[in-house]
Amino acid sequence: MTDPRHRVLIPVAVLEGETISEALIESLAGIPVVILGYHVVPEQTAPEQARHQFESKAQAKLDGLEAAFADHGGSVTTQLVFTQSDRKTFERIAVEHSCDALLLLNPLQSLDKVLITVRGDVNVDNIADLVSDVFGPIDATLTLFHVVPGAEVPDHDDPDQLLTSVEDALTDAGIDPARIEREIVDAPSRGQSPLEIIIGAADDHDLVVLGESAPSIRDRILGEPAWNVATQTIDPVLVVRRSVLEDDEDGAAGTGEGEDDNAADEHSEDPTLE
Amino acid sequence: MAGDPTDVTPDTDETADVVSADATKRESGTELERSITLLGGLSIGIGTMIGAGIFVFPGLAAGQAGPASMVSFAIGGVIALLVALPTAELATAMPKSGGGYYFISRGMGTAFGAVVGISLWLGLIFASAFYLVGLGEYAVATLAEAGVAIGGGPLYIVIGAAVGVGLTLMSITGTENTAALQNIVVGLLMVLLGGFLSYGLLDSIGIFGAESTPETFAPEGWLPVLTTAALVFTSYLGFAQVATVAGEITDPGRNLPLAMVGSVIIVSLFYILTMFVATSALGREALEAAGEVAIVEVAREFFGVPGAVIILFAGLLATLSSANASILSSSRALFAISRDLIVPPGASRINLKYGTPHVALLLVGGPVVALVFTGQTAILAEVASFLHLIMYGLICVTLLVIRRRDPNWYEPEFTIPGYPLVPIVGALSSFGLILFMDRASQVIGIFVLLGAFGWYYYYARAIRLKQEDSDD
């Protein structure tokens, strides 16, 4: 059974000079992407007011990115949004366009080493599926990375077993086992928080894959961990959406809209908005 | 610079916009995110209004009308409600930034729109100046409470003006994050005032403490009750501000009417209760003598110095929040008219560095600070009310006009009960209240309107706004 290809949302702050590096466009050309050109407007300003002044400039930049993807044979949808709340916009567009992951941009020279962080509490098959979809076509090393949070946190899976199950799922999906590496780090013995360890490990890699965490009060105050990684490393961060992480194995219940049958997905992904 | 008498059609064809709960989708495909929730909308309405009615007017109102001043506030509340309902209906049909200006210009034509748009911008400037003078009074009273000796001279004016400069600069540099702060401030005020007024109410009806000696209800007769209603109407100028962010509110069909009508009802209850408690606790003379900070003396009567300090603090917060909200709304009003080319489009240009409309904010903040120096609380308040009441009356007329014409694009998600009585009474009472204002305020108000019309005639006569003549 072939799964439908996963779709990735790439938010680009088009008016702040943010762009998608050539290497990244090349790497992502194999999967459908939604480029979200956005501009954050301060609350003193009506979004309509910003649109009035900046729409054509922003649209031109977005069109440039779309053309760059199309040159590499990628399937692209674009959307331009003026917003006062970037997080709300990302969430909404991700749901509307059935995206399973979000790519937080940082510049990329070349994509040779991918750091895939694996938590104990997520759906292994869905992650493997998404990872093989996105990184299958490119020739990069995939490092499965697990941080043991600490003795006091009961971790239902043995870390070794956890990574083995991911590795098996990846090889089942057709990834060459030679491309897969694994690393387990014990947080308490390093005296660092899991987040700090991931940020440290990111320095040796070109791109980080992270799972979105369940929203908690702490995250509301300190920010979603994935975003912190994105701002504190020089790597792009692929954030796998919660809906994907939590999907049941049978896939029917609670599945995101992107999990429909193959044919429907193939049709819905290519049209660009007029 | 004068507009040529050839037709000018601004790029504002918004009939093709698709409004969903979370975004406005324009014909070009670009989307405008909606991020203000119902709570945020209520907080804009209440936060703008509550500063004046409770923290500035009780002394002035009681001085003029005695305990019957609570009727003055009730009259104001009823008029506000009669206008809030039509405003809500129009806003759900046209959930665009610009509020009253937008509806009137689309319903009644460019001339009315231009006069209203310009006088809304100026009316909010008068309102902001009024709140800042009130803030100055509270700052001076706070200093006095802290035992800081104050020399003579208009210190309150200097403080009010300084805060006005500060708010404007903060808005321009974008350093403030007032939306989140505003919600907290409004919540805090509601809790503080709720507790204070509940205690006062129980005290006044004699549950604890001595039963207060009843005063003559309307010591000066009923005419002062009406003139006081005209004076204190400034306390209700916030609900239409919700309509100025109509383009940013989530689920506008539901949240706009709820935020507007809800905030009017909530503040009306607070105001009436405040006047009841204040006039029961202290006599009319004592309230009048305390002037703008009368409510502090009421708190002192109940809770001693700690009560006075808490209410002083609340007063500073409330007047600050009102002033800030009005400055931002005024800049929105200016954007709305510059988008339609009624004033030069440069007025709403956005600063590249901060992303804020710096020209508009300066065109608001500058006049505000200048008006603060007049120090005339009552006149500033009445001129603000005058200009708003003209708009409110015209909003009601617009509803009548649009419903009669019934164009295709008019599909409000919320329709008012009691049509056509509500907008007819709303319009008559809005215009009628103006008659009870002070002569000086009326004269200034009329001059502003004439000035606005003069500008329209000189600069914007040739402008044709699209929706007004579509499908006739």
**Structural domains in chain B, sorted by start:** 30-409+417-471 (1.20.1740.10)
Q: What is the pLDDT of residue B5?
A: 43
CB pairs under 8 A between A and B: 90
Q: Using 50, 70 and 90 to split pLDDT, how confident is the model at B169?
A: very high
Specify the 3-state DSSP secondary structure of A5. Answer: coil
HSE-CB for A173 with a 13 A CA cutoff: 26
Q: Using an 8 Å Cβ cutoff, are B31 and B23 in contact?
A: yes
Q: What residues in B contact A53, CB-CB < 8 Å?
A: 349-350
Nearest of B173, B227, B199, B257 to residue B382 by alpha carbon:
B227
Q: What is the pLDDT of residue B454?
A: 95
CB–CB contact B35 A84 (8 Å): yes
CB–CB contact B174 A89 (8 Å): no
Within a 10 A sphere around the Cβ of B325, how many other Cβ atoms? 27
3-state secondary structure A190-239: HCCCHHHHHHHHHCCCCEEEEECCCCCHHHHHHCCHHHHHHHHCCCCEEE
CA distance, residue B410 to nearest chain A CA (Å): 21
Q: What is the pLDDT of residue B19?
A: 81
Q: Using an 8 Å Cβ cutoff, are B396 and B426 in contact?
A: yes
CA distance, residue B17 to nearest chain A CA (Å): 12
pLDDT at position A247 over 50: yes
Q: What is the pLDDT of residue B219?
A: 77
Q: What residues in B contact A79, CB-CB < 8 Å?
A: 29, 31
Q: What is the pLDDT of residue B94?
A: 87
Percent of chain B with pLDDT over 70: 91
Radius of gyration of chain B (CA): 22
**CA A6/CA B338 separation, integer angstroms:** 45
CB–CB contact B350 A49 (8 Å): yes
Task: Pick the residue of A34, A41, A45, A79 with the most B CBs within 10 A to test the interface with B by mutation.
Answer: A45
Mean pLDDT across A19-47? 88
Residue of chain B whose Cα is closest to the Cα of A59: B30
CB–CB contact B331 A44 (8 Å): yes
Task: Pick the residue of A38, A40, A44, A59 with the most B CBs within 10 A to test the interface with B by mutation.
Answer: A44
Q: What is the pLDDT of residue B23?
A: 87
Angle at B296 between CA B291 and CA B298, to 5 degrees: 95
pLDDT at position B317 over 80: yes
The DSSP element (H or E) to which B280 belongs, if any, is helix B252-281
| Amino acid making up residue A87 | R
Q: Is A272 on the interface with B (CB under 8 A)?
A: no
Work out the mean pLDDT of chain A and round it to a whole number: 79
**CA A131/CA A122 separation, integer angstroms:** 14
* Residue-wise pLDDT tens digits, B30-74: 999 998 899 989 998 998 898 777 898 999 999 999 889 999 999
Q: Is A274 on the interface with B (CB under 8 A)?
A: yes
Q: Using an 8 Å Cβ cutoff, are B323 and B132 in contact?
A: yes
Q: Is A63 on the interface with B (CB under 8 A)?
A: no
Count of residues for chain A?
Answer: 274
Task: Pick the residue of B350, B354, B364 with the most A CBs within 10 A to test the interface with A by mutation.
Answer: B350
Q: Is A62 on the interface with B (CB under 8 A)?
A: no
* Residue-wise pLDDT tens digits, B247-274: 889 999 999 999 999 999 999 999 999 9
Residues 1-60 of A with CB under 8 A from B: 40-55, 59
Residue reference for tokens 């610079």? B1
Could you tell me where the DSSP H helices lie in B149-177? 155-173
Beta bridge partners of A115: A143, A208
- Torsion, Cα of B308, B309, B311, B314 (10° steps): 170
Q: Tell me the backbone φ, ψ of residue A148, rounded to 5 degrees.
A: -80, 115
Q: Is A238 on the interface with B (CB under 8 A)?
A: no
Nearest of B314, B360, B353, B312 to residue B333 by alpha carbon:
B360
Q: Higher model confidence: residue B136 or residue B1? A: B136
Q: Using 50, 70 and 90 to split pLDDT, how confident is the model at A42?
A: confident
User: β-strands A237-240, B18-19: how paired?
Assistant: unpaired
**CA B166/CA B157 separation, integer angstroms:** 14
CA distance, residue A157 to nearest chain B CA (Å): 40
Mean pLDDT across A139-167? 79
Could you tell me where the DSSP H helices lie in chain A? 22-28, 47-71, 86-96, 124-135, 159-172, 187-190, 194-202, 217-222, 225-232, 242-245, 262-269
pLDDT at position B316 over 80: yes
Q: Using 50, 70 and 90 to split pLDDT, how confident is the model at A249?
A: very low
Q: What is the pLDDT of residue A265?
A: 36
Q: Tell me the backbone φ, ψ of residue B214, rounded to 5 degrees.
A: -65, 140
**CA B394/CA A216 separation, integer angstroms:** 48
Q: What is the pLDDT of residue B281?
A: 86
Q: What residues in A contact B35, CB-CB < 8 Å?
A: 83-85, 88
Nearest of B396, B204, B424, B365 to residue B298 by alpha carbon:
B204
Q: Is A164 on the interface with B (CB under 8 A)?
A: no
Q: What is the pLDDT of residue B205?
A: 76
* Residue-wise pLDDT tens digits, B209-241: 554 555 677 777 788 999 999 999 999 988 888
| Out of A40, A46, A83, closest to residue B335 by CB | A46
Q: What is the pLDDT of residue A222?
A: 58
Q: What is the pLDDT of residue A216?
A: 61
Mean pLDDT across B400-405? 93
Could you tell me where the DSSP H helices lie in B19-68? 38-55, 57-65
Q: What is the pLDDT of residue A36?
A: 95
Q: What is the pLDDT of residue B149?
A: 66
**CA B369/CA B132 separation, integer angstroms:** 9
Radius of gyration of chain A (CA): 19
Beta bridge partners of A237: A104, A208
Q: What is the pLDDT of residue B262?
A: 95
Q: What is the DSSP letter of A120?
A: T
Mean pLDDT across A181-199? 84
Q: What is the pLDDT of residue B16?
A: 61
| Out of B33, B96, B350, closest to residue A53 by CB | B350
Q: Could you tell me the two tokens for B218?
A: 């309307």
Mean pLDDT across B360-383? 93
Q: What is the pLDDT of residue A223?
A: 62
Which residues, including other chains, have CB under 8 Å from residue B415's CB and lie 6 or more apart?
Answer: B89
Q: Using an 8 Å Cβ cutoff, are B78 and B412 in contact?
A: no
The DSSP element (H or E) to which A107 belongs, if any, is none
Upstream peptide bond of B412 is cis (omega within 30 degrees of 0): no
CA distances (Å), A172 to each of A166, A177, A229, B114, B346, in order? 10, 10, 30, 69, 61
| Out of B30, B171, B248, closest to residue A46 by CB | B248
